[in-house]
């Protein structure tokens, strides 16, 4: 059922590798339209982005229109077409966290990383985003660091966390 993609030579090699990666993911979940979200979630986790080409290949494998896949990718805040950094920090800016000091933590994060919210560090290490309520209202302010939730964070705490991740990045 898979069609042969007609790729420009310049992207053919890179494209072939991407297509193989997508085929692995699709095989894991089954080539069913209903599996689109898990497929995109895995794709993003493995590749760090969902490119135009990736959306077209996924659409082809599931028998969907590329525009439908793009519609899904752009609907969910944890998906999206932008390339994110290796670590994504999502700071909650809903009421209970804001009341407990989100603003100071936000300033420390922007200062430490040298980027505004929505940005990615030039070395590709960190993306900084706002999140709506992450269900940590009992231990505010809170953030998601990749797949982990951290509660009761302070400016000093987030500076330490970033320093530790940077050290890991250099040595690991």
Partner 1 sequence: MTIRTPLTLATVHPDKGLRAALGQAPIEVLEEVDRSGIRGRGGAGFSTGLKWRLASEAPAPDGRRHVVCNADEGEPGTVKDRALLSELPDLVLEGMTIAAWAIGANNGVVYLRGEYVYLRDGLEDCLARRRASGLLGHDILGTPGFDFDIHIRLGSGAYVCGEETALLESLEGRRGEPRNRFPYPVVRGLDQAPTIVNNVETLAWVPAIMARGADWFAGIGTPGSTGPKLLSISGDVARRGVYEFPFGVTVRELLEASGGEDAHAVVVGGACGVCVPAVDFAREISYEEISTGGAIIVLGPGRDLLDVAENFLEFFVDESCGQCTPCRLGNPVLLEGVRSLRRGECTAERLGELQHLGRTMQDASKCGLGQTSPNFFLSLVDRFGPEIIDRIPV
Token output for 50: 């969902």
R_g of the chain, CA atoms, integer Å:
19
CB of 7 to partner 1, least distance (A): 25
CB of 114 to partner 1, least distance (A): 25
Token output for 113: 């990383």
Which residue from 76, 143, 62, 60 is spatially nearest to 108, judged by alpha carbons? 143
3-state secondary structure of 82: coil
CB of 33 to partner 1, least distance (A): 5
Residues in contact with 46: Cβ distance below 8 Å, sequence separation at least 6, in sequence order? 21, 25
CB of 135 to partner 1, least distance (A): 5
Of the pair 11, 77, the CB lying nearest partner 1 is at 77
Q: In angstroms, rounded to a whole number, what is the distance separating the alpha carbons of residues 107 and 32?
A: 44
* Omega within 30 of 0 (cis) for the link into 6: no
Of the pair 7, 70, the CB lying nearest partner 1 is at 70
CB of 122 to partner 1, least distance (A): 25
Angle at 164 between CA 82 and CA 93, to 5 degrees: 50
Binding site for partner 1 (CB under 8 A): 33-38, 40-41, 62, 68, 71-72, 75-79, 93-96, 98-99, 131-140, 144, 147-149
Q: In angstroms, rounded to a whole number, what is the distance separating the alpha carbons of residues 18 and 8?
A: 14
């Amino acid at each position: 059922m898979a069609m042969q993609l007609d790729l420009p030579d310049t992207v053919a090699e890179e494209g072939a590798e991407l297509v193989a990666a997508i085929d692995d993911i699709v095989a894991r979940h089954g080539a069913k339209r209903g599996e689109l979200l898990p497929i995109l979630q895995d794709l993003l986790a493995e590749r760090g982005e969902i490119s135009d080409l990736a959306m077209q290949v996924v659409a082809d494998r599931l028998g969907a229109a590329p525009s439908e896949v793009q519609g899904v990718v752009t609907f969910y805040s944890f998906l999206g077409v932008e390339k994110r950094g290796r670590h994504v920090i999502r700071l909650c800016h809903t009421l209970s966290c804001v009341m407990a000091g989100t603003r100071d933590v936000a300033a420390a994060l922007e200062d430490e990383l040298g980027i505004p919210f929505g940005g990615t560090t030039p070395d590709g290490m960190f993306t900084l985003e706002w999140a709506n309520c992450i269900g940590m209202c009992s231990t505010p302010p809170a953030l998601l660091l990749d797949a982990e939730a951290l509660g009761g964070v302070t400016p000093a705490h987030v500076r330490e966390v970033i320093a530790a991740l940077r050290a890991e990045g250099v040595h690991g």
